[in-house]
Structure 1
Amino acid sequence: MPTNLPPEARAKWIKVMEARTLEEKIAALEEFISAVPKHKGTENLMLWATRRLSQLKEELEEKKRRKVGSGPRFFVEKEGSAQLVMLGWPSSGKTLLLAKLTNAKVEASPIPFSTTLPQPGMMKFEDVLLQLVDAPSLPFGLGEKVSWYGRTIGLARNADGVILVVDLSRDVDKQLTSAVQELEENGILLGKRKAVVSFTKTSAGGINIVVVGRLINATPDDVRKLLLDYRIHHGIVRIIGEASIDDVEAAILGNRDYKPSIIVGNKLDIAGQDSVEVLGQLARKLGVPYLAVSALRGDNLSLLPKMCFESLELIRIYTKQPSGEVARKPLVLRKGATVLDVAKAIHSSFAENFKYARIWGPSAKYPGERVGKDHVLEDGDVVEIRA
C-alpha cells in the first residue's frame, strides 16, 4: 500500500526532488524526515530515508576530502563500458576474484575486513572492457557495524550493476537472505523489474501518463490523483510493463533502485553440491542469474565476463563509413537502442540531419538493409548513417 503521507510531508518531498547540490539535498531530506509521521506504514520509508541521509552526508565528506586532497578516496571514477560493484560478506573471496578477472594488482588476505577501500580493475569481454570494483565487505544481517557501511551502499547505488559474492562453504541461505533484505532496506533491488516507471517533472502541460503495458488495480486517474496529492501539477509518467500505484509512488520518491545483478557462489573447490543446489534455488526464486565458481582453482571464471555483459543488457554496435571501413571499437548501448541513439552517440549533427541508415547484422533482414531512425538494433549490428 502507498505510505499515505500527509500533505506537509509530500510538499517537503518536492523540495528533495528539486534540490541540486548535496547540501540542498541533505537539508531538504532532513526536513522531509521530520515531517513524516512515525507509524507502521512508514517504517520502510523512514529506514530508507535515514540511511539515504547518512549516505548523502558521507558523500559530502568524500567530496570535501577530494577537494582538499586529504585522506583516502572512496569514490571510484567509472571507466570502460559499465561499472559493476562486488558486494559480499567478509572473506567471501571478492579480492581474489578481482585479481583473477582483471588487471588489478591486489593481494587477497585471509583476515576479515582487510579491504577497507574500494579496489577497481578492468575485465575484458571480447572487445569490451567492464570495470569491476571490489567493495569493502559488509556484515549483512548484523547491522551497520563498519564505518564504511553507508559509503559501500553508495558505491552499489551509483554502479551500473551488482555482483553479490557468496561463500559456498558457509550458510548460503543466511548470506543471500540477509544481503538481499538489507539491500532492499537501502532501496537497492536485485534483478529485473516487472515494470519500468519513470517520472519527469515539467513546468507546463499538465500531467501526462504514458502506459505501454497496464496498471495493476489502478487507473490513470489514480496516478493523476497521486501526483496531485504530492502537489505535482505538471509532469510525465511513463510506465512500461505491469505496474501498481506503489511502483508509481516509488518512482516519485526515488526509493527503489533496481540493479542488473549476478549472484556468484565462490569457493566451489571446498563446498559440497548441496550448497550449489541451495544457491540455484534461491537465485531462481529471486530471478537473478547465478554462477558457482572457484576463484582459487579458476572453475567457471571464464563464463563470468559474458554473464556480466548480458546481465547489464548491453549491445555492441559497430559504425561503418560510407567508404566501407568498419570501426574496430564498438559503441556500447543499452538493449533496445535505435538507429537514432547511434546517430546521437556519434554526434548531434548526425541526429539532426539524419536521412536513413544501412544495417548489416542480426537485426537486418538482409545485408545493407535501408532503415529509418526508429529501427531497433541488436548486439553485433553494423550501422552506416547517412545524413
Structure 2
Amino acid sequence: MPTNLPPEARAKWIKVMEARTLEEKIAALEEFISAVPKHKGTENLMLWATRRLSQLKEELEEKKRRKVGFGPRFFVEKEGSAQLVMLGWPSSGKTLLLAKLTNAKVEASPIPFSTTLPQPGMMKFEDVLLQLVDAPSLPFGLGEKVSWYGRTIGLARNADGVILVVDLSRDVDKQLKSAVQELEENGILLGKRKAVVSFTKTSAGGINIVVIGRLIDATPDDVRKLLLDYRIHHGIVRIIGEASIDDVEAAILGNRDYKPSVIVGNKLDIAGQDSVEVLGQLARKLGVPYLAVSALRGDNLSLLPKMCFESLELIRIYTKQPSGEVARKPLVLRKGATVLDVARAIHSSFAENFKYARIWGPSAKYPGERVGKDHVLKDGDVVEIRA
C-alpha cells in the first residue's frame, strides 16, 4: 500500500466518502486524521487532509455568515460551459485580464491584495461561453497566509480549470515553482494526468473494473483487493491511460485533483525576452500550455480563449432532429464523449430507448453515417438520435 493505512483509517475514510453535509464531512475527516499513523509514508496525505479540513471549516463559517445575511459571498455559482479560476500573486494583473477578456465591470488597482472577493466574468470562444473568476491573490512561497487562503484554494478545487497568472517583470522561476509546489501540497495538480481514474461507489453489483489502457504496476485483482481493504464491496473503477495502483488509491481518497490549466505570463510590455523563455521552459516541463501576454496593450489576448477551451478538453456537439435544422447552440461535453452521452444530455428517455444515431462531421466516415451508442464523437460533430 502506498500510504500504509491501517484498516481502522481506511474504515474512517469510508465515512468521509459517505458524508453529505459540511458538518458530517468535518467530523468524519477529523476522525480519519486521528486514525492515520504519523510516519514518512503518510506525510503528504496528512498535509492534504489537514489543509482540506481547514478549508471545509472555512466553507462552513461562510455558510453560516450567508445564512444570517452577514458579509458577502465568496462562493461563485458556475455559469457557461466551464469555470476557470485565475490564480496569481499580488499585482500580477489578474483583474485587468478579467476586464479585457470578459464583460466584467471591474477596475484594476496597483495596490497589492486589492481584490479580496472573487470576481466573475464571461469570456467568449466562438459559440461557447467560459466563466473566468479572478480569485483574491495568494503570496505563494512567502510563508504568508492571508485570511482568504483556504477559500481561494477551495475555489480552484471546485473549478473546472485553472489559469495561473505570472508576472513576467519579476522572478518567473520563483513564482511558478512556488505556486506549483503549494498547489500540489493542497492536492491540486496542474496539467494533464497520464491516466484518468474515476471511482463510483454503487449499492450492488460487486466491483467492476474498466481499463482502457493498462495498469503499469498492478493487476485488476490488486485493484479489487485495494477496494476490499477499504471495505468497499460494490463500485466501478474506470481507468483511461496508464495508471498505477497509487493513482487508483488517489481516486478513492480524492487527495489528487488534476486541473486542466493554462499558464499566462502577463506584463509582456515591460518584460524581457529572457523571462518569456524561462516561462516556456518551465511550462513545457510541466506539460502545461502557456501564453505571454500584455493585459495593458492587449498583446496575444485573442489567443487565450481558444487555449483555455482546448486545455479543458471539451468538445461541441450540435444536435439535429430528423429532417430538421441543426441546433445553433451546442452541447458542450468532455473529450471522449459518446453518442450515448449525447442522448443522456438531451433526455434520459433518449438513452433508455436509443436505437441508433446518424453523424455528420469530423468523427463520421461519411456524411450521415449510422452509428451505435458507443461511437466516440469529435468537436463539431452533428448528431441525430433515433429512439
In 1, distance between residues paired with 2:120 and 2:342? 29
User: Do the aligned partners of residues 376 and 48 (structure 1) sit closer, same or farther apart at CA in structure 2, a change above 3 Å counting?
Assistant: same
- Range with bigger deviation, 8-17 or 234-243: 234-243
In 1, distance between residues paired with 2:356 and 2:280? 46
User: Do the aligned partners of residues 304 and 352 (structure 1) sit closer, same or farther apart at CA in structure 2, a change above 3 Å counting?
Assistant: same
**How far apart are 1:185 and its partner, in Å?**
0.5
**How far apart are 1:207 and its partner, in Å?**
2.7
- Range with bigger deviation, 339-348 or 155-164: 339-348
Give the secondary structure class of the aligned counterpart of 1:145: coil
**How far apart are 1:281 and its partner, in Å?**
0.4
**How far apart are 1:355 and its partner, in Å?**
2.0
- Range with bigger deviation, 203-212 or 257-266: 203-212
Deviation string, structure 1 residues 159-203 (Cα, Å, up to 9, x no partner): 000000000010101000000000000000000111111222233
In 1, distance between residues paired with 2:283 and 2:249? 28
In 2, distance between residues paired with 1:296 and 1:268? 9
Give the secondary structure class of the aligned counterpart of 1:108: coil
Give the superposed CA RMSD.
1.3
**How far apart are 1:288 and its partner, in Å?**
0.3
User: Do the aligned partners of residues 58 and 226 (structure 1) sit closer, same or farther apart at CA in structure 2, a change above 3 Å counting?
Assistant: same
Deviation string, structure 1 residues 19-68 (Cα, Å, up to 9, x no partner): 11111000000011111112222111111001000111111122222223
Deviation string, structure 1 residues 211-262 (Cα, Å, up to 9, x no partner): 2222222222322222222222332222221111111111111100000000
**How far apart are 1:144 and its partner, in Å?**
4.7
In 2, distance between residues paired with 1:268 and 1:144? 27
- Range with bigger deviation, 142-151 or 20-29: 142-151
In 1, distance between residues paired with 2:382 and 2:281? 39
In 2, distance between residues paired with 1:2 and 1:70? 44
Structure 1-normalised TM-score?
0.97
Give the secondary structure class of the aligned counterpart of 1:3: coil
Structure 2 regions of 5+ residues with no counterpart? Answer: none
Structure 2-normalised TM-score?
0.97
User: Do the aligned partners of residues 193 and 233 (structure 1) sit closer, same or farther apart at CA in structure 2, a change above 3 Å counting?
Assistant: same
- Range with bigger deviation, 101-110 or 194-203: 194-203
Give the secondary structure class of the aligned counterpart of 1:129: strand
**How far apart are 1:362 and its partner, in Å?**
1.2
User: Do the aligned partners of residues 52 and 323 (structure 1) sit closer, same or farther apart at CA in structure 2, a change above 3 Å counting?
Assistant: same
Give the secondary structure class of the aligned counterpart of 1:48: helix
- Range with bigger deviation, 234-243 or 264-273: 234-243
In 2, distance between residues paired with 1:330 and 1:35? 48
Give the secondary structure class of the aligned counterpart of 1:304: helix
Deviation string, structure 1 residues 295-344 (Cα, Å, up to 9, x no partner): 00000000000001111111111112223311111111111111111111
- Range with bigger deviation, 331-340 or 176-185: 331-340
- Range with bigger deviation, 287-296 or 351-360: 351-360
Give the secondary structure class of the aligned counterpart of 2:20: coil
In 1, distance between residues paired with 2:228 and 2:144? 37
Is residue 2:332 matched to residue 1:344?
A: no
- Range with bigger deviation, 57-66 or 295-304: 57-66
Deviation string, structure 1 residues 248-294 (Cα, Å, up to 9, x no partner): 11111110000000000000000100100000000000000000000
**How far apart are 1:91 and its partner, in Å?**
0.5
Deviation string, structure 1 residues 95-115 (Cα, Å, up to 9, x no partner): 000000000000000000000
User: Do the aligned partners of residues 365 and 151 (structure 1) sit closer, same or farther apart at CA in structure 2, a change above 3 Å counting?
Assistant: same
In 1, distance between residues paired with 2:334 and 2:321? 22
In 2, distance between residues paired with 1:259 and 1:118? 19
Deviation string, structure 1 residues 100-158 (Cα, Å, up to 9, x no partner): 00000000000000000000000000111000000000001123520000000000000
**How far apart are 1:358 and its partner, in Å?**
1.7
Is residue 2:108 matched to residue 1:141?
A: no
In 2, distance between residues paired with 1:232 and 1:328? 45
In 2, distance between residues paired with 1:381 and 1:228? 41
Is residue 2:280 matched to residue 1:280?
A: yes
User: Do the aligned partners of residues 342 and 236 (structure 1) sit closer, same or farther apart at CA in structure 2, a change above 3 Å counting?
Assistant: closer
- Range with bigger deviation, 358-367 or 150-159: 358-367
In 2, distance between residues paired with 1:61 and 1:253? 24
| Residue aligning to 1:14 | 14
- Range with bigger deviation, 231-240 or 121-130: 231-240
**Total equivalences in the alignment:** 387
In 2, distance between residues paired with 1:143 and 1:332? 40
Give the secondary structure class of the aligned counterpart of 1:350: helix
